[in-house]
Amino acid sequence: MNITGNTILITGGGSGIGRALAETFHKLGNEVIIAGRRRQVLDETVAANPGMHALTLDIESADGIRSFADTVAKEYPKLNVVVHSAGIMRPENLLDPNDLATLDATITTNLLGPIRLTAALLPLLEKQPRSTVMTVTSGLAYIPLALTPTYCATKAAIHSYSQALRYQLKSTSVEVIELVPPYVQTELMGSAQASDPRAMPLQEFIDEVFSILKANPNVTEVLVERVKPLRFAELNGVEKYQEFFTSFNNAMLAPH
């Protein structure tokens, strides 16, 4: 992926990793469009970054995604990069039969949303000389956090989808890059996460991501050093993997 000279759409671009990616791409001279449900957050981000654009998107609505894609194609015909950063992460009690709203919202936002939006925008992306679909998964796609089982399952599914999409698009102008964050200091699970010392500082994460993209324009999987123990845990064998899974979950669940 070239990190300059693009027209880039970033979902979830008003907060967290999405906003940090948007602001960095914007500073590099790209035309950046952020999208999300919360108009006030989008407007605040645009106000802080003159020249950036914003569009409202309800990622849970299939019809809304189709009309959104039509708007993007009309207003930004040179769009050549889509970054799927929108997502929700909520704790679940799997013993509670009434805790289904979280399950439905998580699957619709984290899994169906990116798949539907990619499908809707592919005709436009394929028209460009070179274009990119960047999915944002998680280290938790490889070592699930038991506190958030559906979130982890959706990220594992997006990893699988990214691989299949890359294979199917190999003869087109569209490349597929998977960005795999570790635990990062954002407010994805509440304000306390933004200052959790166990989490990677957001700016440190972004700096490492862009150093990887700059050094290797053909990268297919962006892995900062702090996510590699999760990403490659299975290479140590079943027994070591299980030990890591247990110790990791014990450590992460302790404050809860």
CA distance 181 to 156: 13
| Catalytic pick among 142, 151, 161, 183 | 151
- At residue 255, the pLDDT reads 62
Number of domains in the chain: 1
- At residue 97, the pLDDT reads 79
- At residue 48, the pLDDT reads 97
Three-class SS string for the chain?
CCCCCCEEEEECCCCHHHHHHHHHHHHCCCEEEEEECCHHHHHHHHHHCCCCEEEECCCCCHHHHHHHHHHHHHHCCCCCEEEECCCCCCCCCCCCCCCCHHHHHHHHHHHHHHHHHHHHHHHHHCCCCCEEEEEECCHHHCCCCCCCHHHHHHHHHHHHHHHHHHHHCCCCCEEEEEEECCCECCCCCCHHHHHCCCCECHHHHHHHHHHHHHHCCCCCEEECHHHHHHHCHHHHCHHHHHHHHHHHHHHHHCCC
185: domain CATH number is 3.40.50.720
- At residue 144, the pLDDT reads 97
Contact 89, 188 (CB under 8 A): yes
Q: Tokens in use for 31?
A: 């035309």
Say if 132 falls within a structural domain.
yes
Q: How many residues make up the chain in this entry?
A: 256
Say if 214 falls within a structural domain.
yes
Say if 96 falls within a structural domain.
yes
Which pTM value belongs to this model? 0.95
Q: What crossing angle do the helices spanning 16-27 and 202-215 adopt, rounded to 10°?
A: 50
Q: Which domain holds residue 88?
A: 7-231
Say if 217 falls within a structural domain.
yes
- Note if 167 is an active site residue: no
Contact 57, 37 (CB under 8 A): yes
Q: Tokens in use for 138?
A: 């998680």
- At residue 28, the pLDDT reads 98
Query: What's CA 256's distance to the chain center, in Å?
Result: 25
Say if 211 falls within a structural domain.
yes
- At residue 96, the pLDDT reads 86
Measuring CA to CA, which residue among 209, 242, 239 is closest to residue 18?
Answer: 209
Contact 231, 139 (CB under 8 A): yes
Say if 238 falls within a structural domain.
no
Say if 256 falls within a structural domain.
no
- Measured from the Cβ of residue 133, the count of other Cβ atoms closer than 10 Å reads 23
- At residue 101, the pLDDT reads 85
> In order along the chain (256 residues), what is the average pLDDT of each group of 10 residues?
97 97 98 95 96 96 96 98 97 86 94 98 98 98 97 98 98 98 95 94 98 97 98 96 96 75
Say if 249 falls within a structural domain.
no
